[in-house]
């Protein structure tokens, strides 16, 4: 995936805006007293509200004390550095870093387009910002040696996402970033649990992630959806050790802050831990009884992805699922009918219907549209035996195969991105307010333009549902 470089963000977004200033004609002693009382190392000097210079503790040492000058006889203007070296607030951080290096200074005054004072940024500030970058986080994850470190790194992943929302990073790149970092944490966790507790564990298994995690489409309200598959014919002792490993791993995942799946879809649960042949038998049972619960399980498994272990086991299992679904319009129709149960919440004249108490005034974005898009796109892909896992990749393949027109694919991609962006922004707002992130958005918090975008996205979901309804002849479901 393309790395997101934090240095290509505007300086004005990161500079410190609570800048202490003084007048250029102020007594130097007064400036030094202010610096001591405020515990700061510099003051920006101004004339008529405009920044004209800067005085630092180094200036006091080198230009006053070292030369034996009497501070009481000096003004700030006689000691300050001027003309002032500044950078515009819309310039990139890498340009600030370059300017600091070229001028051999440690701080820059940040200005508005009209030259007014906006803030100040230092080389230390930029260094701290870089440690929040994805590259730095990946390095720290790969070097983590314990659960405490991974717990803190998991929190920092959320902090990074919170920080990047609203910076212009494309929603697709942001979602991929979340999935990438969460993957690295879980892989490192599995590696540590195995090396520290199960050094003799067999290699003939795979830890699979399912659902949105399998598609690489997590946001900030993810819990666990995973499973374990192991090779047929393993000795009983190795099977017992895999069971213990699964339980220890899931316990560790919970301990670092990722909640368990409420439905028990985890490798530590016997129903979600089988040999390859055992999985085939389990899937056949679910296929044979297409009730909503089993349809959901099939759907979860069809998004499987090997996170850790032998990927050939996933491929064998995927082939079995594909073989049961390609051309199986009866079961795919059941899957479609299941998603059509989630009616798009639009009323007369495009009014958005919100949830009932205790969530009055809120809209569940997953139920309202995201689920229909991801499931519907998946169903169309499975009908053709396509192996892509990501919703966007599936949309592109469906267009190439002619199952969606270029315009339909473009519109549906925009609908999906819009809904995910609303969800992620709402989740970040939850984090900032100290609430647990969820799939709900408060309609009253949206302005007129945002309401229009949301309504347009929901109308797009409704159109897609109608397309699926016609394909599988499910008119009676609507």
Please report, for the domain that includes residue 360, its CATH number: 1.20.120
How many domains does the chain contain in total?
Answer: 3
User: Do residues 370 and 227 share a domain?
Assistant: no
In the listed set 265, 289, 323, which residue is the last one of a domain according to the structure?
Answer: 323
pLDDT tens-place string over residues 381-406: 999 999 888 999 999 999 999 999 99
pLDDT at residue 476 tops 70: no
Contacts of 277 (CB under 8 A, 6+ apart): 232
Whether 461 maps to a domain, the answer reads yes
Pairing, β 226-230 against β 273-275: parallel
Whether 233 maps to a domain, the answer reads yes
Pairing, β 226-230 against β 305-309: unpaired
Question: Helices 276-288 and 311-325 meet at what angle, rounded to 10?
Answer: 20
* Residue (of 229, 292, 306, 243) closest to 263 by Cα position: 292
pLDDT at residue 309 tops 80: yes
**What is the rounded CA–CA span in Å between residue 288 and residue 9?**
54
Integer-rounded Cα Rg, in Å, for the chain is: 29
- Global pTM reads 0.74
* Residue (of 252, 176, 240) closest to 212 by Cα position: 176
Q: E strands within 203-304?
A: 205-209, 226-230, 273-275
User: Do residues 262 and 301 share a domain?
Assistant: yes
pLDDT at residue 170 tops 90: no
**Average predicted confidence (pLDDT) for the chain:** 90
Which residues, listed in sequence order, are joined to residue 40 by a DSSP beta bridge? none
- Percentage above 70 pLDDT, the chain: 95
Chain Cα centroid distance, residue 227: 23
Chain Cα centroid distance, residue 47: 45
User: Do residues 284 and 143 share a domain?
Assistant: yes
Angle 93-98-100 (CA atoms, 0-180°, nearest 5)? Answer: 95
Whichever domain contains 77, its CATH number is 3.10.580.10
User: Do residues 293 and 407 share a domain?
Assistant: no
User: Do residues 142 and 96 share a domain?
Assistant: no
3 falls in which pLDDT band (50, 70, 90)? very low
Q: E strands within 167-262?
A: 205-209, 226-230
Lookup: tokens for 51? 């920044």
User: Do residues 199 and 59 share a domain?
Assistant: no
pLDDT tens-place string over residues 134-156: 767 888 898 999 999 999 999 88
Residue 360: which domain range?
333-477
User: Do residues 344 and 256 share a domain?
Assistant: no
pLDDT tens-place string over residues 330-350: 999 999 999 999 999 999 888
**What is the rounded CA–CA span in Å between residue 252 and residue 150?**
10
Whichever domain contains 286, its CATH number is 3.30.460.10
477 falls in which pLDDT band (50, 70, 90)? very low
The answer to whether the peptide bond before residue 358 is cis (omega within 30 degrees of 0) is yes
Q: 3-state DSSP call for residue 137? A: helix
């Amino acid at each position: 995936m393309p790395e997101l470089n934090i240095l290509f963000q505007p300086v004005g977004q990161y500079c410190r805006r609570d800048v202490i200033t003084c007048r250029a004609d102020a007594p130097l002693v007064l400036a030094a007293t202010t610096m001591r009382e405020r515990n700061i190392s510099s003051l920006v000097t101004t004339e008529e509200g405009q920044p004209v210079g800067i005085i630092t503790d180094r200036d006091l040492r080198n230009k006053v004390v070292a030369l034996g000058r009497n501070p009481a006889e000096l003004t700030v203007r006689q000691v300050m550095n001027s003309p002032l070296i500044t950078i515009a607030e819309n310039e990139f951080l890498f340009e600030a870093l370059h300017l600091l290096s070229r001028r051999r200074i440690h701080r820059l005054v940040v200005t508005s387009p009209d030259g007014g004072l906006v803030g100040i940024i230092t080389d230390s500030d930029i260094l701290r910002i870089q440690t929040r970058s994805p590259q730095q986080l990946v390095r720290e994850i790969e070097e983590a040696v314990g659960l405490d470190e991974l717990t803190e790194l998991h929190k920092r992943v959320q902090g990074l996402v919170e920080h990047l929302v609203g910076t212009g990073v494309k929603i697709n790149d942001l979602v991929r970033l979340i999935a990438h970092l969460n993957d690295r944490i879980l892989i490192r966790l599995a590696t540590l649990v195995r090396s520290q507790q199960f050094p003799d564990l067999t290699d003939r298994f795979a830890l699979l992630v399912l659902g949105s995690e399998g598609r690489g489409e997590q946001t900030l309200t993810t819990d666990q959806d995973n499973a374990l598959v192991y090779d047929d014919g393993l000795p009983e002792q190795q099977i017992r050790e895999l069971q213990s490993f699964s339980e220890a791993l899931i316990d560790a995942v919970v301990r670092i802050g990722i909640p368990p799946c409420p439905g028990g879809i985890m490798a530590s649960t016997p129903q979600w831990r089988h040999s390859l042949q055992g999985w085939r038998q389990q899937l056949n049972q679910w296929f044979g009884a297409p009730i909503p619960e089993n349809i959901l399980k099939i759907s979860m498994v069809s998004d499987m992805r090997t996170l850790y272990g032998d990927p050939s086991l996933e491929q064998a299992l995927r082939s079995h699922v594909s073989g049961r679904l390609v051309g199986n319009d009866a079961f795919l129709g059941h899957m479609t009918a299941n998603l059509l149960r989630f009616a798009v919440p639009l009323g007369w004249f495009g009014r958005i219907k919100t949830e009932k108490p205790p969530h009055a005034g809120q809209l569940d974005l997953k139920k309202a549209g995201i689920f229909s898009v991801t499931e519907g796109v998946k169903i169309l892909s499975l009908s053709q035996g396509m192996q892509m896992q990501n919703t966007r990749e599936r949309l592109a393949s469906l267009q190439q195969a002619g199952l969606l027109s270029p315009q339909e694919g473009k519109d549906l991609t925009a609908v999906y991105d819009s809904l995910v962006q609303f969800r992620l922004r709402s989740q970040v707002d939850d984090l900032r307010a100290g609430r647990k992130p969820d799939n709900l958005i408060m309609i009253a918090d949206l302005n007129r333009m945002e309401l229009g975008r949301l309504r347009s996205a929901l109308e797009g979901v409704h159109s897609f549902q109608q397309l699926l309804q016609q394909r599988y002849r499910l008119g009676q479901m609507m």
